[in-house]
Chain A
Amino acid sequence: MAKSISELEEIARKCRVEIVKMVHRAQAGHPGGSLSEIDLLAALYATRMRVRPDEPRWQDRDRFILSKGHASPGMYSILAEMGFISHEDLKSYRVLGGVCQGHVDMKWCPGVDFSAGSLGMGLSFGMGCATAARLDESERRAFVMIGDGEMQEGSVWEAAMAAAHHELGNLKVILDRNRIQNDDFCEVQMRMFDIPAKWKAFGWNVKEIDGHNMTEIMEGLDFLEAPENCNGPSILIAHTIKGAGISYMENNPSFHGAAPNDEQFHQAMVELGEVDA
C-alpha cells in the first residue's frame, strides 16, 4: 500500500473534483466538511485500511465509521477511488434509489460500515466494532472520523470515557477540526476550549497535525498505528479548513450545507486543475 506523497495528493485532488461534482449535480449536500476531511480519508484508505473492495463485507476488514455522516460526498469519492463503488454510482448521490444516499448508509452502499447522519453516534458504534474485534481475537481496527461541532453531543463523551475504561487499543479516532458547524463558527456556537487536554483527561493518546499536509497526515496515521499507542484508544486531531481547496468555500460557513451554482462550479473545476480558466 506504499504510495508517495504526490500520489496521495493526486488521489485527494481527484476526490475533490468528484465531491464538487456530486454536490453541484444534486444542488444539495455538504461540500465544506467533505473537502476538509478528504486529505485524511485519501491517506487512510490508500495506505492503511485493510479492506477488500471486491468483498466489502469481509469479516476481518478494518472498519471505517464516518460519524459526521453528512460529509458523505467525501466518503463516496474515496470509495469510488478504491473500487468499492463505480464513478457512475457517484451520480446517484441524493437520487431516489441511489447507492449514494444523502448521508452514508450501510444498507445502501458497499464499503459503508455504519449508517450515520445523526451526530454523536459513530464513536459508540466504533467502540462496539472494536470490542467485537477483541472478543474475536482479530487484528482488525475500527477507525472513526468525528467532527468538531459533533463533540458538543454528550454521547461522544460517554463513548470516550467507556473506550478508555475498556482500553480499546484497536479504536482509532480522527477528528476533523475544521472549526465550522451548521450555523456558524464553532467558537461562536459553543466554545470547546482545550480539545487535546479534554481527550487526554479522558485517557486517550493524542496527537495534533495539519490535516492538509500529507506528510504530517502520514506521521499522524503512524502515530495511531504505533504499538505504544495500542494499549488504549487514540485520537488524531487534524486541524483542517472547511471547504479546503475551493477558494470561495474555504472558512465560509455558508458552504457547510450548500451547493455551488454553475458559475461557482466552473471556478471550482478551474481551481482543481480540471479545466482551463
Chain B
Amino acid sequence: MTRMAATRDGYGQALLDLADNEKVVVLEADLGKSTKSLHFRKSYPDRTISCGIGEQNMLLVGAGMAASGYIPFASTFAIFTERAFEQMRNGIARPNLAVHLCGSHGGTHTGTDGSSAQSIEDLAVFRTLPNVVVMHPCDDVSTRVLTTQLPALGKPSYMRTARNKTPVLYDGRENEIQIGKGITLKEGSDVAIVACGVLVSESLKAAEALAEQGINATVVDMHTLKPIDGALIDTIVARCGALVTAEDHNVIGGLGSAVAEHLVANNFAPLEMVGVPDRFGESGQADEMLEVMQISAHYIALAAKKAISRK
C-alpha cells in the first residue's frame, strides 16, 4: 500500500530538522497551522515571529533578519504570497537576501475553498525574479529534503507545497534529491513526461496506461523549476524526441514555459503542455479539480500520444 502524505507536512518536519541551526527563524502570517510551521513554533517560540495577517510586512521582516545574519523561513498560502510580490521583488530578490518563502495550498488541487484560494500563477510570477530559486516538490520526503538544503543555498527561494495528500515516492531515496536536479522516475524511449508537484504521481499513472498501449514513457520529477535542469531536458529529448509537461498551474508561465524556453534555445522537440487552461478554478474535491481542469492522468496520456504524433 502506497503511503499517502501532504507536502506541507514535509515542510513542517524540515523546519524541525533545521532547528539545531540557531540562525534559523520562522515567520508566520496566521497560517502556521495550515503551512505546518506550527510544530517549530511549539518547540521554538522565541525564534518564531508572528506577523499577523500581514504578508507584505512578513516578507520584509524576513529581509531585515536575513541582512542581520539570520535564515528566515516565511510561509503562508501560495495565493497570499502573491500580494507580497513586490516585497519579494524589491526587498528580497533585488538585494539577494536569503529569505525562504513557502506557499502552501498551491494549485487547484487545494479543492473546496474554491478559486480565491487556488493559486495557479505563483510559480510563474516568482520564476520571473532574478536570484530566486523556485521549487514545487511532489511528496513529503522530497519537500523535507529540499527544504533542509535551503540554508546552504545562500539566496532567496520560493517553494510551493500542497494541501492534500498524494502518494509518497521517495521513502528511502532521500539521497537522490538535490535542488536543481530533476529526477527520472521511469525510463522509456517513446515520450518524456516532465511534471512537478501533485501531477508527478498523475504522470506515473499516465505512463502505466500508456505502457498498456505499448508506449514507453520517461517520467521526470522536475521539482526545481528555476534553475531548470537543462542537461536532463537535453537527455530526454535525445532519448524520446517528444515531450509533455504536466503541472497544476496555469499553462502560461510555469513548468511548461520553463521547459519550452529551454527547448527553443537548445534542442527543439515537439512539446505538449498540460496545465490549467488559462482559467480560474472553483470549489470541488482535489481529484474532481484535476478532471475539471483537464490535467489528470487521462489528459496527460492524451497529450503524450499527441506529442508522439508530432515527431
Contacts and interface: CB of A to CB of B under 8 A. Distances in A.
Interface of A: 59, 63, 105-107, 113-115, 117-118, 120-121, 124-133, 135-136, 142, 154-155, 158-159, 161-162, 165-166
Given A135-B25, A155-B57, A162-B51, A125 B91 contact: yes
A125 B96 contact: no
Interface of B: 25, 46-47, 49-52, 54, 56-57, 59-70, 72, 86-87, 90-91, 94-96
Given A114-B64, A158-B51, 17 more contacts: A107-B96, A115-B94, A120-B56, A124-B59, A125-B60, A125-B63, A127-B60, A128-B60, A128-B65, A131-B49, A133-B68, A155-B54, A155-B56, A158-B56, A162-B50, A162-B52, A165-B50
B47 A135 contact: yes
5 contacts: A106-B67, A106-B95, A132-B65, A155-B57, A158-B52
B70 A132 contact: yes
Nearest to B84: A155
A138 to B, nearest CB: 9
A128 B52 contact: no
A159 to B, nearest CB: 5
A124 B65 contact: no
A173 B49 CA distance: 21
Contacts, number: 106
Contact of A124 (B47, B56, B95): B56
A128 B97 CA distance: 12
Nearest to B51: A162
A237 B277 CA distance: 52
A124 B64 contact: yes
Contacts of B63: 114, 124-125, 128
A219 B237 CA distance: 71
Identify which of A120, A128, A135, A158 gathers the most chain B CB atoms within 10 Å of its CB. Answer: A128
Contacts of B54: 155, 158-159, 161-162
A159 B69 CA distance: 21
A127 B68 contact: no
B196 to A, nearest CB: 31
Query: Which of A59, A130, A131 gathers most chain B CB within 10 Å?
Result: A131
A117 B51 CA distance: 23
A158 B58 CA distance: 9
A203 to B, nearest CB: 13
Contacts of B95: 105-107, 114-115
Contacts of B86: 118
A1 B90 CA distance: 35
Contacts of B49: 131, 166
A177 to B, nearest CB: 22
